Structure 1
Amino acid sequence: MVITEVRIKLCEENNERLLAFCSVTFDNAFVVRDLKIIEGTKGVFVAMPSRKLTDRCPRCGGKNHLRARFCNQCGTRQDEQRALRATDGRAKLHADIAHPIHSAARELIQSAVVEAFSKEKERSKLPGYVCTYDEFDYDDEVPVSYSGLVAEMGKVVKAHGAHAAPKGTHFHTADAPAQTAKAKPDGFADGIA
């Protein structure tokens, strides 16, 4: 695995621990966005992209974040101690979406991101500084139209041995309306199921 690009988006200095967001590209082929660079008690560290953990209300089954005091659906009071606890006793409120499997990979990512962060901080002090975090460079081989993308995906599917799309699968291209194996309900326009 080779880290081929790291892009940094610095946060405004407002006495918060969050210093920047970043994206990391692996092997010029796979991007992980929304890593966070955070000022911790032992120095700067990289937090992987994560989502808030949820559970279901015992009364109505509605989904709620683990910090919710009341159910979003029925308003029932929720147990505030329902989150799983880490070995240090802190509530586990988030789950990583993408993360390294072993410590060597974590160290590789951490060092590349921290180095890029330091360089970006220095670059930000120069006149005319522009953040490149949200800019995307596309390879000439990547189809730019949606129909081209669909055609390219079809080649990949055929190459991997897939035969037919399941019933009910919708195919949309820029040149043709949606086609589906499902019958359309009365009153619906063509292309909408």
Structure 2
Amino acid sequence: MKITDVRVRHVSSDSRLKGVVTITFEDAFVVHDIRVIEGENGLFVAMPSKKMPNGGFRDIAHPIHADMRKQIEDSIIKAYKETLDAEATASVEE
């Protein structure tokens, strides 16, 4: 399955949440609310989830295979870094 679009909304805050992402597959299927989070070992991608009555969380959508997860994570982290670079360039030009 080919990733055809990745859109990142950078979150400017002191929280661990760094961005919210929408990813499109094959120009036909979209997944919203994927989060980019700053963890102890760097950035990681958290799939959209909902809070359960017991207080835990359950993924709403997630890849089944490790290679698809890697493809999604790599695409999202790359797009996130490109967004940061574009924002930095725009602020320098102002």
Regarding TM over 0.5, the answer is yes
Check if 1:118 corresponds to 2:81.
yes
Partner SS state of residue 125, structure 1 = helix
Unaligned runs of 5+ in 1: 55-65, 68-92, 129-193
Aligned-partner Cα distance in 1 for 2:38–2:90: 26
Structure 1, residues 84-130: CA drift from partner, whole Å, max 9, x if none?
xxxxxxxxx100000000111110000000000000000112337xx
Aligned-partner Cα distance in 1 for 2:90–2:76: 23
The alpha-carbon deviation at position 53 of structure 1 amounts to: 0.6
Name the counterpart of 2:11: 11
Check if 1:20 corresponds to 2:19.
yes
- Which contiguous aligned blocks of 4+ residues in structure 1 show a shift greater than 2 angstroms? none
Query: CA RMSD of the aligned region, Å?
Result: 1.2
- Whichever structure has more helix as a proportion of its residues is 2
Aligned residues: 91
- Whichever structure has more strand as a proportion of its residues is 2
The alpha-carbon deviation at position 23 of structure 1 amounts to: 0.5
The alpha-carbon deviation at position 41 of structure 1 amounts to: 1.2
How high is the TM-score relative to the length of structure 1?
0.46
Rg larger for = 1
Unaligned runs of 5+ in 2: none
Percent of paired sites with the same residue: 38
Name the counterpart of 1:41: 40
Q: Which has the higher contact order (CA 8 A, sep 6+)?
A: 2
